[in-house]
Amino acid sequence: MTLNKKGFLVLLGITALVIIISALALSLPYGSPLEVVVRLFALYGYLTLSVATMTTPFLKEIPKVFGKTFIKVHHIFAIVGTASATVHPVAYAIQTLDPTVFLPSLRSWYAFWALAGRPALIIIYIALAAALVRRKMQTYWRSIHAMMYVVLFLGIVHANLIGTDFQNPVINTLFNLLFAASIAAFALKRIQRHQLKKRLRSKTDRR
């Protein structure tokens, strides 16, 4: 199978989003090149992880559009997103010389949510581990892997509260829409599973 026109347009659209996001972020003041890395990779990570979650209701369509299996496409976006989301705090830790940036803040209710990207990063790796050992955890891995939606929630709260680039109304609107689209994909996937179980029960009853 090969990438078709729809797949090309989807990738072109994602590339255009990356360029637009980068240009808008760079239009805001920044103190050092390392700060640019911190900010840009936070945006890239959230974008690609959102795309990864949005692919989940389209198991049959993804291979036709991209010319690769659903798992390969989903994992490419997930891996790129995880790597980018990891670069964000690593670069920030180097910038501030503060290793505690990887630990959730319990100083106050506001601090926890303002720095919600910290627990989000931990959950990303838990969800990733669940996917890697899914054959050994057939009963539970889906529930653990679905924690990626919690990651997106924590990330968008963190960004809305203290994200520098969220001062730009276009970035703010775009990323909140990405979160909404991810939640819509989550709901659609659950509806599909419910309908599948209903059809299977119907077939069983007819027997």
pLDDT digit string (tens) for the chain, length 207 residues: 578 888 899 999 999 999 999 999 999 988 899 999 999 999 999 999 999 999 999 989 999 999 899 999 999 999 999 999 999 999 999 999 999 999 999 999 999 999 999 999 999 998 888 777 776 766 677 788 889 999 999 999 999 999 999 999 999 999 999 999 999 999 999 898 888 887 777 766 666
Q: Which amino acid does the sequence have at 171?
A: I
Q: How far is CA 197 from CA 185, 190, 194, 201, in A?
A: 18, 11, 5, 6
Counting the structural domains of the chain, the total is: 1
Phi, psi values for residue 147, rounded to 5°: -65, -10
User: Which pLDDT score, from 0 to 100, does residue 198 have?
Assistant: 78
CA dihedral 80, 86, 87, 91 (to 10 degrees): 170
User: Which pLDDT score, from 0 to 100, does residue 17 have?
Assistant: 96
Residue with tokens 């990864």: 52
Host domain of residue 187: 5-99+106-206
Tell how far CA 39 is from the center of its chain. 16
User: Which pLDDT score, from 0 to 100, does residue 206 have?
Assistant: 63
User: Which pLDDT score, from 0 to 100, does residue 184 have?
Assistant: 96
pTM of the prediction? 0.92
Q: How far apart are CA 162 and CA 22, in angstroms?
A: 18
Contact 104/121 with Cβ under 8 angstroms?
Answer: no
C-alpha count within 13 angstroms, C-beta hemisphere, residue 194: 6
Kindly give, in sequence order, each residue whose CB lies less than 8 Å from that of residue 63, ignoring residues fewer than 6 positions away: 1, 69, 70, 73
Q: How far is CA 25 from CA 80, 122, 163, 169, 207, in A?
A: 20, 26, 11, 11, 60
Both tokens of residue 65?
């559009």
